[in-house]
Structure 1
Amino acid sequence: MSILMALVVFLVGKWIVRRITNLLVSVLRKINGMDETLVKFLENIVYYILMIVVILAALSELGIETTSFMAILGAAGLAIGLALQGSLGNFASGVMIILFKPFKVGDVVTAAGVTGSVQEVSIFNTIMITPDNQKIIVPNSAITNDSITNINANPTRRVDLVVGIGYDDDIKKAKNVLNSIVEADERVLKEKGITVAVSELADSSVNFVVRAWVNTPDYWAVKFDLTETIKITFDNEGISIPYPQQDVHHHNQA
């Protein structure tokens, strides 16, 4: 009779476990952007944990003392947890990245000291491609334990340039030239405003700050083009771009 009851407990328990895991999978897949790898992983974890409970219940119906089994399982779980501490940390971080989405595949980010385009986000690590086409695999825990800069998360970015002129140059002329250069670039979003202003009286130069908004994909091209155009135009207009220098005075002592 006890064998029959144990078999019934096992079969019914297994059926209930399967229904629970199917319900869990259904709920997880309704979450927008939920990674399929994470769904499968959680499904297996929940399934095996519940099946252990069912097996212990079936053994109990057979009159077998399950306390020792639970103690062994607890000790084994602790040992495995300590051995896989780093991997479990990466897994937890991977779950956080997938759920909270600080970035997505294709975004350019700076995370864990690495700047690159996100190629893949998995449970344990994130694969990034650097601007010079290196493939870097970053542990997820290193990403979540550091600040994350999502460079192209927003549709627009501001180009910031610092341009120095000599103290003998005409400030108003230089300012007008800089304004003209920025306004002439069709990629600059004029409606968001352009800033050209004296920001610092430095040791060797009068520094202007030049700020202009552009669409994010145009950022680097506009920055490089403006820098080149400013140098060429300043040369044509006779405006100098000084380099750091020092005046050394030598005094002869009688």
Structure 2
Amino acid sequence: MKQVLLFGGIVSVLSLSITPAHAQWAVFDGANFGQNVMIAARELQQIDNEISSLANQAQMLVNEGRNLATLPLSTLSTLQSTMSQTTALLAQAQNIAYSVQSVEQQYQQAYTSVSSGMSNSALFSQAQTRWQNSVGGFEDALKLQARVVGNIPSDSAAMTQLVSASQTSAGALQAAQAGNQLLALQSRQLSDIQAELAANGRAADLDRARQVANEAAAEAQYQHFAQYDAYVPEAVSVPNSGN
């Protein structure tokens, strides 16, 4: 009985001394560690992708801002001023204005109303009016030509500025606005050419009309002359110088 108790005590002591020794060893789970590393790597990759996405969006906003930026250069006021000056010259047309009503009225009075029933003084007055119209038409054409030629230096400067602005534009809107202003400049130049052609044509037409009307006036004057009796020679007595 005593031996059994002693053996039991030894077993108990051994149990108490061995149990703490097993509790001090750390257990390493390799599979769990690897899984945690993979999860962390995926999270870092996701964060990196989000950062790249935000950077791309920021760049897109910058590009959109450039595309929406307006062109700091504008030649519209200069073009409008030049066109106003050309229009003012056309409005100052002498004698016969650029008006259908004015042409019909004054052309009828001075060019198509010539007849043999008019007096010589009336024929002369009409001829003088026609001459003044022709001279005024050529003067108007010369003035307009001078205006068109005077516009060339400013047009050249504006074209240089607009081409440079188009080539150095920060975005699509600036490039489009520069292109639109170049088109406006070309349209104004075409208007100058149209006005010059109109002035030259007006002067030439007035002069041709003057020539035709003068022929009609000459015919009327001849009719006046033909109405008089022909000259009949008469005998003329010459006093005798000896008497």
Same fold (TM over 0.5): no
When normalised by structure 2's length, the TM-score is 0.26
Larger radius of gyration: 2
Greater helix share, structure number: 2
Greater strand share, structure number: 1
Larger RCO (alpha carbons 8 Å, 6+ apart): 2
